[in-house]
Structure formats: C-alpha cells, structure tokens
Structure 1
Amino acid sequence: MHAMMAVNLLHFLVIFCCFIEARSLRVLNKTEIEQLSTTGCILLGLSDTSPSLTSLLEEIASVYKEEKTVTIAAGSRDDITWNKPGNGGKFAEVAFYKCQPLDRSCLLSVVHRPTAEPYTGPLVADQLIMFLNYHCHSYRKAGGGLESGGILRESLLAGQYRISENEESCSIVDSSLTKSEFFWSFLSVSRPVVIRDAINKWPAMKKWSMEYLREKYGLKEIHVKITQDGVFEGVEAASLWPGYSDSWIPERVRSQLSFPELVVVRPATDEMPFGDFLDLVSLGRNKSGASSYLEYSSIPSYLPALESDIETLSFVEDLLERKHLNIWLSDGDTLGKLHFDPYDNLLCQLSGEKHLTLFEPYDNRNLYEAHIPEALLGYDKKRRKVFRKNLLQSTSMVMSPVDILDPDYKRFPLFRKAKRLQCVLRPGDVLFMPAFWWHEVQSYPDPIQHRNLAINYWYAITHYRAIAAFHFLQHCIGHW
C-alpha cells in the first residue's frame, strides 16, 4: 500500500512539475534582452512582481507562443535601461521593449543598448493583448488564435511569388490591366510584371525630344554621374585603387566584412547645365570620351514642369504611396550592376530599350548580400578621362559582389542556385518591380534618337510585404 501511495505521489509530482514548467515564464538576462529586441518586442515581468501578475503573464505567453516577433518573459529590474529616467520605471511591474533593430549604419561602433518603457495600462489579459497587437504588429486573440487580419496576412505571405524551375521571362500583360488584377495577381504577391503599351498616350512620349528638353531646361544645373565604360556601380578589387593597403580598413570593421578585398565603384559626379549634358548624350561615349548618366534625378526638384506630361497609371491610382519620381537619361550604352532598392518600382520606358535580369529577394545568400566597401571615381574635364580617385570610409549593402555576366563559381558557388527572370522594356512599356528584388539593367539606345530615356516611380511598401521581403529591418548603407 505504501509503495502504491509512493508511486501515485511520484506520478502527481511529475505531472505538477511538468505543468509548472509549461506555464513558467522564461527568465531573460541582459544579453538575451539585447539580442531579442533586435528582431521583435518584449513584454517583461519584473522579478519582484506578484504571483497573480506572473500567472497573467504566463497566460499571455501562451497566447503568443507561435508569434516569433513577440516575447513574454521575466527579468531583473537591474538589467533594464528605461527610455526616460524618472518616467515611472522605478515602480513599474512590467517593462515593454519595442522592436529596436540593430543599427549597422556605423560598423565601427556597433553597440546595441535597447531601452524599455513602463507598461502603464490595465493588467488584464484583453488589454495586454490589445497593447501587444498594436505595438508589435501582431494579430493574436485570447486563446492564441489569429484575428481575421492575421489570417489574411499569413495567407498573403504564404502566397508570395517564387520563380518556378522552367520560368525564364517576366509575366507580360496588356494596358487593360485593372487595379484589382494588379493588386491580387502582382502587388500582393510581389510578382514582377511588364505592362505593354501602358504609357503610349502620355504627352511625354511625343513631347520629350532632345530639342524640347533643351528649350525647356537647357540652362538648368543638374547633377550627372560619369564612368569611362558605361558600367555603373560595379565591384572590383580594392588593390587596384590608390591608398590601398592591408590596413586601410580598421580591424573592427574588417572583422564584420565578408569581402574586405572588394569595393563597389561609385561613379564620378559633375555639375553642368542640362544643355551641356544633352550634348554629351548626343555625342555618345565613343566621341565624348566618357559615359554620362542622369540617373534617379528627382523630376519635382529639378524638372518640375515635366510632371504635367506624365499621367498616374490607373491600376495604381490611390493604391500606392509615391515617395519619388525620377528621370533616367543617357546615351543608351549603360549597364547598372546587380543591386536592389527598398521601394516598389514602376519603371516607365520612353525611348530605347532596357533589358533587366531579376533575382528573388528571399534567399540573398545565393547573391552574397553583404556590406561591401566603396570607392569613388574622379573625372578630369580637360582630358575627358575618368580615373580611380580614392577609397571611401563607407560601405554599401545594396550591391551584389557577383558578376552575373561572368560569374566566378569557385568564389561564389551558391550563385548556381539563384533563379532569374529576363524582362525586356520597349518604348511605352512599364515594369512593376517589387521592393527588394535584385536587378541588373542593360540599356540600349533608340536607333534614331541615340538615347535611352525612362522615368520611374518609387513607392512605399506596406508592412506585411516588407516582412515578406525577409530582410525588411536589415538593409542599410553603412560607414565607419
């Protein structure tokens, strides 16, 4: 009988201990708080809280157990840095950390010190869930299930477009594309698409001749990018540059770089009247001695009257938030090397052709995304020569070190796995290119006008699509 009682008691203790373990809060130390706050938010019960509050936080933790960007835990008051000294943190029972992404804009001093604010709302489950959903962009409800918004978001994220094995070219549709078709078939799933003849009726298609642009803005000072060979933002060996040595990068920075021996080559720049730039475009690279490019230059800032010659595309009207409207003009013999932009992009071709190679943004290991040091070209106006000017104390994280035209598979073996799409833009066509899609752009001149002319719209991206792009919080330009 005593043996039976002992077995039953042991059985009870095992069950009880398992229950306590399942419901007990994880205890975070200062280092864990610093790490977790870079990828999500934290609700932290302080070590001297009451048993009833601990029980409430355990309940909330069970609600968010499937939410990777929300952590419910316990911690020590001594490990907390409050965002505002004297704001009530001394008496708070619960601390809240917003998501505070690691700032890698300065690689020389990557220090992450997250700060907390005291939670001052009602200590009841419904209010805490509402608070966390609002501040952490989550959609949980009591019991741990998803609200309708969360179900929709998960469905959209699960349906993000991926390049299939036998797919080689961008989807192509005609200009009858509706807003609903664009949203559900392309925008919501981050799928590139070429819309044929979408801007054929724009006044700019006929008005923007070289003569018209010269008459309208010939005296306007503009900022021009220049290279010798028409290649813009390529990557090459740092050892080719003046000032290079094994110690040109501080060791604290070098230790964080995957390719310290490479540099992204930034083009030379020059200020000149628009009319002089048009002369260089007309001459072409062979006669002018260099390749001049008016790239991503703001139309509202530099050439505002031109905006009246373009029209909002009906399939995006009131659907996207415009951030930038740019003009791109060159002699048509340029190559923009592989990179990405953190905006949804509508690229509108007016003259000449652009041939784009696109790669998915979802597994950037294949493209070796990393901080890469930068270098700057110079331009000698008298000799019309471009030269290697100097190495910069900055890095870029939007360029790939892989030369897709002549890949070094020994150095970049994962590039073999990268899937690509080819997209061709002719005059009148528009390409929708979702944010973070990698792209390399080869331009070709119009055979009569001997130029390549395009404009593009950059749009803000919505929250759920930013998450779908995988590295929403990681892209930045760095320096040391």
Structure 2
Amino acid sequence: MLTNSEIFKKLEEFKSVVFDSLEEVGDLDGTCKSLIQEYLTETELLNPMAIVKIQAIIDYMYEQVNIGNWKEVKLYLRKTITIASYLLLLAKTKCTKEITECLVKDMYKVIDFGIMFGCPVDEEPDLLQKCASYLNSLGLLPHSTTEMSNQSEEIVNIDSNKYNAHVVEAIECPSMEHFYKNYIVAEKPVVLKNCINHWPALTKWKDQNYFIKLAGPRTVSIEIGRDYTEAEWTQKLMTIEEFIKNFIFQSNGSTGYLAQYQLFEQIPELKEDIIEPEYCCFSEKDDPVDVMAWYGPKGTISPLHHDSKKNLLTQVVGEKQIFLFSPQDSEYLYPHDHELLHNTSKVDPRHPDLLKYPKYKDAKVYYCVLSPGQMLYIPPKWWHFVESLSISFSVSFWWN
C-alpha cells in the first residue's frame, strides 16, 4: 500500500502549474496571495498550523463569493478557492502519519468543495478532478453495498387520454438531415428511440451500488423538498452514498433530488459511461454542450417551466412522464410573477385547478412516458413538466 509521502509526491506534481496559476488571481489581497505563494514554494512549511491558515483563506473566499449575485462573482475569488483547495490537499497529506479512511474521505470533501465553489484555472482546468481520479485509482476506501429496490423495475402503463393530451411523436433513430429539418427547424418535440443503445450507462447504472463504488464518498448538492417553487424547498450537501441510502430507497419523508447537476464535470469517470448525441451538433454557437444529471427516487418532479436552450432529455434508468406545451400557449399557463420564476408555471398539468386557472382549458397538451434508452427533444421555450414514475436517472444535453 502506498505511503503518505508517495501520495504527497504524486499530488505535488501539479505544484508548478498551480504556482503559475497565481497570475490568474492578481487581484487577491496581498496577505492571502503571499501566504499561498509561500506554501507552494516551500512545502516543508506545510504543518498543522498551515492547514488552519489555508482553511481560513478558503472560508474567507467562500464568504466573498456568497455576497450578491452568483453570476457577478469575480473569477479570481473562485480560482483562489480552487488553488487553496489543492494546497489544502497537500497539507493534509503531508501532516498525517498514515492513510486512513477518515483522511481519504476528508480529501474528497476538500476536492468537491473546491470544484463546486471554485472554478477551473487556465493552467490546469481539471486540477481537482485529476486529484480525485488519482485517489480513486488507489482504491483506498472499502465499498459498502445496499439492497436494490424493485421500484425502478415497475411496468408503467399510463393512458394519455386521462390528461386529454396529444401523444408526442416517437421515431426510430432519424438521420441527421431528417432531425434537423423536421424538428430543429420546425421547433417540434419528438421522442427518439434506439439512439443510445451503445451507452455503457444503460447497463451499469441499473445497479445503484455502481454509484456507491465509483463515487460514494463524493460530495454533491441535493435538492430537498417537493420542488423549487415551494417555501420549504432547500439544498443540502451530502455524499452520493448518503443520498442513495437516505433518499433513493425511501418513500416516506422529504424528497431528495440530484437535479440539474454537473455531475460529469465533477466526476469524469461517470462521463465515460455516456456519449454526447450527434444531434447536438446543430448549434448556432461554438459553446460546449451543457450536460446535466437528474437522479432521484420515484415522485421527483420538475414543475412546468421552459428553458432558453435546445434540450435532449435522455432517459437511462427508470421512467418519467412528461407534459409539454407550445410557447404559443404561454398565456394559458399562468407564469409566476416573481422575476426568478417567470419561466415557471403555477399550473400542475396532472390535476389543473380550472377554477383558479380557467384559461388552462385552452392549452394544447402534449404527453409522453420516457423509458430507458429513449431521448426527448424539447425545443427552446417549450414548456415541460417532468415526473419520475420510478427510481430514475436522466441526462440532459442543452445547447444553443
């Protein structure tokens, strides 16, 4: 088994590029910057007191990035969190006598905090992800398992007539030209079948223990509550193992949902199980495709809302029922008045209150149940309501 010093030396290989990244945090106050520079230059100074000081820098940066609007946060503050998180990894490794389960879990926690609240440095964009992959390759943690619920194996039979809805068209893996002409240009939703049969995820992700073994100690942000429009809705940081054991297999209590989460950027090993659909190439910009994870138990919902980007919602595990409405029907859907919820409707299409929302009766409802291996193309500005009918894992691809 590797020693602390050997792991320290491996992590230290990134030290030179991290040092070069200090140029990217030029606006950082002199005290914090000189301290980071000193520890990167003379790693023999890394001791228990250094751990306290580095953590203090991270805490201070975290306070700064949580002031005001997240989109307006100065990048140098977040890059400092990334750099300091790396430095904290070095210090924790150097200052302990042996590799323990507690230490490894603590290191993962440092990494994930840095990924979630920091941002990539130009010199090494995948700095913390590479540190995590290295630790993962060592197999330092014992793997626990949990009993698999049969909830995701339920056969779902739902009649669209129940909702007075039109069934969304479903077609077998179309040609690029056909998809572009008849759905991208026409801005028309469609279910695509047999387009991702080659994904390893279709087999691997059926077993929830796969996630525990691969990424159990990794920290993620989980949405707690019915949906984001409710007053009691909140978010909580927890490990993937805690999430699976406390929420995936529980039908009572609060709902937990790993929703709209950049899981594949945080844990690249999971990204190896999926392949970006070729249909995403129809982009008006050179921006990369946003890949988001949606993982939760039966009953999770995304309230009726619309997005500004094209969306391929891909079902990997379980089934979801989805209601869609054209942008032309927006006036019948009663969007919230609040600025942050202007793209979200007050109506629940499963049981609309026509006394409260009488115009809804004039809206044209489209409906589908998305099964494993299927993708739903949702054009920009199309309203959609999504409910998990079983334990579910979906991947969405968003692009302009």
Relative to the length of structure 2, the TM-score reads: 0.55
Deviation at residue 185 of structure 1 after TM alignment? 0.5
1:224 partnered with 2:169: no
Higher Rg: 1
Report if the CA contact (8 A) 1:322-1:458 is conserved: no
Report if the CA contact (8 A) 1:224-1:272 is conserved: yes
Map of 1:326-405 to 2, 5 A cutoff? 326-372=292-338, 395-405=340-350
Deviation at residue 402 of structure 1 after TM alignment? 2.0
- Please give the per-residue CA displacement for 1:70-90, whole angstroms capped at 9, x wherever unaligned: xxxxxxxxxxxxxxxxxxxxx
**Which amino acid counterpart does residue 330 of structure 1 have in structure 2?**
G
Q: Percent identity?
A: 27
Equivalent position of 1:170 in the other structure: 168
Deviation at residue 415 of structure 1 after TM alignment? 1.1
Deviation at residue 395 of structure 1 after TM alignment? 3.9
Please, which of 166, 186, 190 is the counterpart of residue 189 of structure 1? Answer: 186
Map of 1:99-114 to 2, 5 A cutoff? none
In the alignment, the residues of structure 2 paired with residue 266 and residue 413 of structure 1 have an alpha-carbon distance, to the nearest angstrom, of: 27
In the alignment, the residues of structure 1 paired with residue 194 and residue 233 of structure 2 have an alpha-carbon distance, to the nearest angstrom, of: 33
Report if the CA contact (8 A) 1:326-1:456 is conserved: yes
Equivalent position of 1:277 in the other structure: 243
Distance 1:187 1:274, change over 3 A: same
In the alignment, the residues of structure 2 paired with residue 456 and residue 221 of structure 1 have an alpha-carbon distance, to the nearest angstrom, of: 21
In the alignment, the residues of structure 2 paired with residue 352 and residue 329 of structure 1 have an alpha-carbon distance, to the nearest angstrom, of: 10
Structure with greater helix share of residues = 2
Question: What secondary structure does 2:269 align onto?
Answer: helix
- Please give the per-residue CA displacement for 1:109-153, whole angstroms capped at 9, x wherever unaligned: xxxxxxxxxxxxxxxxxxxxxxxxxxxxxxxxxxxxxxxxxxxxx
Equivalent position of 2:106 in the other structure: none
Relative to the length of structure 1, the TM-score reads: 0.46
1:434 partnered with 2:379: yes
Equivalent position of 1:302 in the other structure: 266
Q: Which runs of 4+ in 1 moved over 6 A?
A: none
Equivalent position of 1:19 in the other structure: none
In the alignment, the residues of structure 1 paired with residue 324 and residue 334 of structure 2 have an alpha-carbon distance, to the nearest angstrom, of: 15
The runs of 5 or more residues in structure 1 that have no matched partner are 1-104, 106-165, 235-263, 373-393, 446-450, 461-480
Equivalent position of 2:233 in the other structure: 267
Deviation at residue 308 of structure 1 after TM alignment? 1.7
Equivalent position of 2:352 in the other structure: 407
Equivalent position of 1:444 in the other structure: 389
Distance 1:277 1:216, change over 3 A: same
Deviation at residue 314 of structure 1 after TM alignment? 2.9
In the alignment, the residues of structure 2 paired with residue 443 and residue 300 of structure 1 have an alpha-carbon distance, to the nearest angstrom, of: 21
In the alignment, the residues of structure 2 paired with residue 265 and residue 186 of structure 1 have an alpha-carbon distance, to the nearest angstrom, of: 37
Report if the CA contact (8 A) 1:178-1:315 is conserved: no
In the alignment, the residues of structure 1 paired with residue 213 and residue 384 of structure 2 have an alpha-carbon distance, to the nearest angstrom, of: 34
In the alignment, the residues of structure 2 paired with residue 454 and residue 429 of structure 1 have an alpha-carbon distance, to the nearest angstrom, of: 10
Question: What secondary structure does 2:348 align onto?
Answer: coil
Report if the CA contact (8 A) 2:165-2:367 is conserved: no
Report if the CA contact (8 A) 1:322-1:457 is conserved: no
Deviation at residue 318 of structure 1 after TM alignment? 5.7
Equivalent position of 1:233 in the other structure: 228
Report if the CA contact (8 A) 2:180-2:282 is conserved: no
Distance 1:318 1:357, change over 3 A: closer
The runs of 5 or more residues in structure 2 that have no matched partner are 1-68, 70-163
Report the count of equivalent residues.
Answer: 235
In the alignment, the residues of structure 1 paired with residue 360 and residue 251 of structure 2 have an alpha-carbon distance, to the nearest angstrom, of: 32
